[in-house]
Amino acid sequence: MDTLRKIYRAKSDFYPRMVFDKENASFLIEGRSLPEDSDAVYSPVLEWLDDYSKQPNDETKMVFNLEYYNSASLRKFADILKKLKEIGDVTGTKVSAVWYYEDGDESSVENAEDLMSSIGIDMEIKVVGE
Amino acid sequence: MSDTTNSILYSELGGDDLSFVYLGKFDNSVLGFATEILKGHLSKTVESEGKKNKLSFLMIESFQNILRYGLAGRAAEMTSGEVFIVRKHKGSYYITTGNYVENVNIGPMREKLERVNSLSPEDLKKLFMMTLQNKKISKQGGAGLGFMEMVRKTKEKLDFDFVDVDGERSFFYFQLRLKDNPEDDSPALSISSAKSIKKLMEQNGRFIALKGDFRQSAINPILSMAENNISAESLRTQRSVYHILVEMLQNIARHASQTEDGRREGMFSMGYDNGSFVVSASNGICPADAERLLEYVGRLNAMTREQLDDYYKRVLREGHDDATISSGLGLIDVARDSIGGIDCNVDGDGEVRLLSMTAKL
């Protein structure tokens, strides 16, 4: 598993910055996620997680820090969290998530709560900058 | 003959604090500049980050809906009349889209929309959560989730209409309303208003119209949009178009009567009319200034190109002979470039009149 490649994707107007790096224990999606074709953006991440699941770190903390996202992305966030939950359940490693929202953005909080309860994953919901 | 497109549009959009209308072909670049232009306006009127994000979400979702449900193949002649409208009207934001759909797809779409509209908030939440967990994705790629999120975020039913075009295709209008105050129970703006706007824009060859605040900070994004989107045969024409745009927009900012909160109310539209590029700008103005400007534009229109060039140099050298018309260079410039001079008219009869100017290139 030492050969597991890293995902580093720079952010742009429509796509988020993404980091999936086992070695540095960094798992991050941030910025804007507005792709029309969410498969193209998130399939590599889901495939990466499949590989990662074979030998995950003792602790995996997934960070979402999004300015805007569309509903197609929200569905992919659910898929990512589902996969992480599975990794935790199967391997017994610690898996959790952090969801940052801008102060006052209730619908972001609502989405986070929905994700947490529908997937059943441990998630901290925090205001950006705190 | 005077070009009255702007004044007719202005009255159709009457009561709006902000209106943005785009008519044409949709792709992500349009979404990019639409959000930039609106951001310039929204930053002054929308107070909370939450509402701003909600509005952006709703705009993006409705926009991507067009891309998702639009006709397969999306040949240019079938997509050219698609419409995207954002309005702040009497305390509510309205986002309206209009696009072609194949009639065979109407049944399933209507079913989906009506299902989402019929659910109680609790049932909608349940369905939403189930959809999040469900691995099966609907054929159009998650549109169901999009509609659900729209209802959950606006707490309003989705408004829509299908208008048959030729027995095989229909035009699908879709409208969202986001209230500033959830307690507001005033009736919603009818979708028929969007239909009239589309018709007006189409008949007069306009592809963009914007009504709202025209302070410099609000016009910068329009200029960058124009810079990136005006395609002209030659760089020279492109520069002239850009130059006229700058002058016309700044003219609104300069002459518009200022509201109590510092807004400079105006309207701007842009398009192609019979092979020429056309820009119209309108703003509120007091009757005396309107008279002066009409007279001044009349004088400019009567000059030959050489006279305009001489006059331009003189004003540049000596300043303007009429101090009420600020530097005045902008209008001379527009008059020099515009085919048949500047088309100028004044509407209304109260203390604030509507002055509209149109230039053609």
Q: Is residue A84 part of a domain?
A: yes
Same domain, B133 and B171: yes
Q: Is residue A51 part of a domain?
A: yes
For B242-254, letters b (16+ CB in 10 Å) and e give eebbbbbbbbbbb
Residue B234 pLDDT: 63
Same domain, B164 and B39: yes
Question: What CATH code is carried by the domain that includes residue B117?
Answer: 3.30.565.10
- CA-nearest residue of chain A to B62? A70
What is the C-alpha separation between B8 and B186, in angstroms, rounded? 25
Residue B277 pLDDT: 86
Residue A75 pLDDT: 86
Same domain, B133 and B250: no
Residue B321 pLDDT: 60
Question: What CATH code is carried by the domain that includes residue B296?
Answer: 3.30.565
B323, burial (CB in 10 Å: exposed 0-12, middle 13-18, buried 19+): exposed
Chain B residues with CB-CB distance to A34 below 8 A: 31, 60, 64
Q: Is residue A99 part of a domain?
A: yes
Same domain, B71 and B202: yes
Per-residue pLDDT of chain A (130 residues; tens, 9 = 90+): 445 788 888 887 778 999 999 999 999 999 989 887 888 999 999 999 999 999 999 999 999 999 888 888 988 999 999 999 999 999 999 999 999 998 888 888 989 998 998 899 999 999 998 7
User: In chain B, which stretches have pLDDT less than 70?
Assistant: 1, 28, 40-47, 69-80, 135-143, 216-218, 227-236, 319-328
Question: Domain range for residue B240?
Answer: 214-361
Same domain, B155 and B173: yes
B331, burial (CB in 10 Å: exposed 0-12, middle 13-18, buried 19+): buried
Question: Domain range for residue A47?
Answer: 7-127
Looking at the complex, report in whole angstroms how far the Cα of residue B27 sits from the nearest Cα belonging to chain A. 10
Same domain, B185 and B223: no
Q: Is residue A14 part of a domain?
A: yes
| Closest CB to A107 among B54, B64, B145 | B54
Same domain, B198 and B228: no
Same domain, B105 and B194: yes
Which of B57, B58, B156 is the best mutation test for A, with the most CBs of A within 10 A?
Answer: B57
Same domain, B232 and B264: yes
Q: How many CB pairs under 8 A join A and B?
A: 81
Which of A43, A65, A71 is the best mutation test for B, with the most CBs of B within 10 A?
Answer: A71
Looking at the complex, report in whole angstroms how far the Cα of residue A68 sits from the nearest Cα belonging to chain B. 7
Q: Is residue A2 part of a domain?
A: no
Q: Which of B194, B213, B232 is the last residue of a domain?
A: B213
Q: Which of B213, B229, B250 is the last residue of a domain?
A: B213
Q: Is the dihedral of CA B230, B232, B235, B236 positive or negative?
A: negative
Cβ of A71 and B142 within 8 Å? yes
Residue A49 pLDDT: 96
Domain count, chain A: 1
Same domain, B220 and B207: no
Q: Is residue A1 part of a domain?
A: no
Q: Is residue A52 part of a domain?
A: yes
For chain B, report the end-to-end CA distance as a whole number of angstroms: 16
Could you tell me if A41 lies within 8 Å of chain B, comparing CB atoms? Answer: no
**What is the predicted ipTM?**
0.74
Question: What CATH code is carried by the domain that includes residue A113?
Answer: 3.30.750
If DSSP codes are grouped into helix, strand and coil, which group holds residue B79? helix
Q: Which of B213, B229, B262 is the last residue of a domain?
A: B213
Q: Is residue A57 part of a domain?
A: yes
Same domain, B86 and B177: yes
Q: Which two tokens stand for residue A69?
A: 């996202």
Same domain, B178 and B307: no
Residue B81 pLDDT: 81
Residue A1 pLDDT: 44
| Closest CB to A118 among B31, B60, B133 | B133
Domain count, chain B: 2
Residue range B88-104, pLDDT digits in tens: 999 899 999 998 889 99
How many helices (H) does chain B have, and how many strands (E)? 13, 10
Cβ of A78 and B132 within 8 Å? yes
Q: Which two tokens stand for residue B271?
A: 């398009």
